[in-house]
Amino acid sequence: MNTQSAAPVQEENPLGTLPVGRLLINFSLPAIISCLINSIYNIVDQIFIGQGVGYLGNAATTVAFPLMTILLAFGTMIGAGSSAHAAIRLGEQNEHEARQALNNAFSFTIALGLVLMALGLIFLQPILTLFGATENIMPYAIDYTGIILLGTPFNLVSIVLSNLARTDGHPRMSMYGMLIGAALNTVLDPVYIFVFHWGVKGAAIATITSQIISAVVLTLYFIRPSKNNPRHMRLDRKLMKPDASLILRFLTLGISSGITQSVACIMQVVMNKSLVYYGDLASGISGDIALSAMGVVTKIAMIMGAFGVGVGIGAQPILGYNRGARKFDRIRRTYLMAVIFATVLIFVCWIFCQTMPETIIGIFGDDNASFSDFAVKCLRIYLFSIFCAGFQIVSTSYFQATGQPLKASILSMLRQLLLLIPLMLILPLFFGLNGILYSAPIADASSAIIVACFIVPEMRKLNRAVHEEHLYGKV
């Protein structure tokens, strides 16, 4: 009886039926745009603050960035984990537990967002000091970060529901929710900064307004019924009662995404402190300038990484669903296509960074020659091997989506915690400020080699499963 009632679900869900290449494009492109939009929230602020406030304003956003990364870590952990869990359950034709995952993720995210907002506001100044704020930067950082924290619950809700909308089979809705907020942020930033003269406060107000709108749009998607776009999952107050075991399951699946962002926060703190220290020692460059310049470069790196993350996120529902349905050939094809897609996109961006860095840096303001010169140098050296990132990101997403959280967690920590941070602490002892720049390309290339050691045995195992699938049917 259960099999008969569940059969139409499998026929309606495109994750198990449509061609893999078409699915990957349909899911990855909106995911890439969503990731780019998430980066744009920061990059737009950086551009307008650089033009309207100067490099100290940009440095303030750099100091605030680790805290924003912590918030993103929680959002991606809940969003990626609940999404992966729901995708596997949908593949098993268990819609009830998929709906439970959505509703528990929603209620848990709101509660966590309120707690993180309160803690951030209470300990704001010590946190900013820890993250590298100097005496000159601190007033700007307090103004900017204090307002950003007020939008924490809405920010987390938009990240989580964006992930779940993709798993529900509607990646464009995920994109639209984020796109509306980003468009509003882009409009409000120059108005608040240049017309109202609110400086960094204006940029922060524009950002949280946009996050609120994105959260509302995505929440309405899961509330309102639609005949044209049938929902596999919907928000239901009866299912929002916390289920500790369910929350623990999807947090376990999402922990690798959370680790990736948490380690990024640690890396940013180490880098900020090192930039201030070695920047003050370098001839012609102050710590404030070094911090501001690297802040711009890391935001550019975020945009490049968004292509790889977007492809990985887009592939996850396909991988998870077909893992639940035990369609191994579709899993293999999805992974290989995703690696190629992500690598090509990041490589194209890398070409622009290496050939026209002056033009790119000029977008963020050119009021200080020392800032511009050092930012160009950072862009070329720090991102020299970033084209390797697509392979690592998609491989981590593969292990996460197929229910292998330990491997996903190890790979999530690999580049930044195990390689980049130690290199960032050791190389400056010999090469000064340049050592910070050299650490990234060495870490990128080394991590790609190590990831290959994980993924090659996995592909061999998958190939055997595909062979058996072709010989004997679904195993």
Determine the Cα–Cα distance for residues 216 and 211; give it in Å rounded to an integer.
9
Determine the Cα–Cα distance for residues 44 and 36; give it in Å rounded to an integer.
11
457's CB contacts (< 8 A; 6+ apart) are none
Q: Which residues of 438-463 are buried (b: 16+ CB within 10 A; e: fewer)?
A: bbbbebbebbbeebeebbeebeeebe
Determine the Cα–Cα distance for residues 165 and 98; give it in Å rounded to an integer.
12
- Per-residue pLDDT at 14: 74
Determine the Cα–Cα distance for residues 247 and 81; give it in Å rounded to an integer.
9
Q: Which amino acid is at 464?
A: R
CA distances from 21 to 211, 315, 341 (A): 32, 10, 10
461's CB contacts (< 8 A; 6+ apart) are none
**For 383, which DSSP code?**
T
- Per-residue pLDDT at 367: 64
Determine the Cα–Cα distance for residues 434 and 380; give it in Å rounded to an integer.
12
Q: Quote the strand ranges of 70-228, DSSP E.
A: none
In this prediction, the residues of the chain whose per-residue pLDDT falls under 70 are 1-13, 38, 40-42, 225-231, 365-367, 469, 472-475
Determine the Cα–Cα distance for residues 59 and 470; give it in Å rounded to an integer.
57
- Per-residue pLDDT at 437: 94
Counting Cα atoms < 13 Å in the Cβ hemisphere of 232 gives: 30
251's CB contacts (< 8 A; 6+ apart) are 77, 78, 81, 258
- Per-residue pLDDT at 151: 95
Rg, Å, the chain Cα set: 22
Give yes or no for a contact between 256 and 340, defined as CB atoms under 8 angstroms apart.
no
First to last CA, the chain: 23
* H-run or E-run covering 39: helix 20-52
Determine the Cα–Cα distance for residues 357 and 182; give it in Å rounded to an integer.
25
Burial class (CB in 10 A: 0-12, 13-18, 19+), 363: middle
